[in-house]
Amino acid sequence: MSRSSAPEGRAGARVTLLRGADLVPAPWKNGGGVTREIVTGCAAGAPPDGFAWRASLADIAQAGPFSCFAGVDRTLVLIEGAALQLDEACAGGQAPHAKHTLDRALDIARFAGESAIDARIAAGPVRVFNLMVRREAARGALEVWREAGRRSVHAQTVLLHAVQGRVEVSVAGDGFIALAPGDTLRVDAAQAVDLETRGAGALLAVTLDIARA
């Protein structure tokens, strides 16, 4: 995957641009969809196949169950397509005790990775942004930035994923970086960093901190 990384700026922030066009599709084993991993973060001492957090895009082509990720908190954001409904089953496989309905772009669902989730799509494939955070290894949060402006964010890692139009981002007063839908700007900093956004597009803003050993 090609990516561009800038040297540390005035606030000691390291900026990496991840282009959506470079993401590699990986088909699901059950044939129900495709995942494009954006980026992962690992905690010290984690196994090679483990992660503290993971961000990806998923194209869901047909209804069916989600894979189980015990100990992981999940956040899904509808990016493209018609409504997506997630039925969350009670322990023991009883009738669903919760329904997460995402019927408009940028609607959000949050649920535990060990929950039994059955996905239903209304009409044709959908694309979602998928954030997974391992509870014992990291903390993470996601919000939607629909309006341009200036914000100060304090986290080890900030991911800004562009959706619904083009947007430009300036980190710590440096020059603006243009993002097309599907692009992600990663900002790693040891202290609060000032971000300025402009343009008509929206951003998914993810803040992530790996727990200290």
* Start-end of CATH 2.60.120.10 domains in the chain: 3-20+139-210, 23-136
Q: Give the pLDDT score at 2.
A: 46
pLDDT for res 62: 82
Four-residue CA torsion sign, 36, 98, 118, 61 = negative
By the 8 A CB rule, do 210 and 52 touch?
yes
pTM of the predicted model as reported, rounded to 2 decimal places: 0.89
d(CA 141, CA 177): 23
190: helix, strand or coil = coil
CATH match of 23-136 with 3.40.50.2000: no
Contact (Cβ atoms closer than 8 angstroms) between residue 84 and residue 120 = yes
Q: What is the mean pLDDT of each run of 10 residues along the chain (213 residues)?
A: 53 90 88 90 70 94 83 93 81 63 91 85 88 94 96 96 95 96 96 95 96 72
The CATH code of domain 3-20+139-210 reads 2.60.120.10
Break the chain down into helix, strand, coil percent, rounded to 5: 0, 55, 40
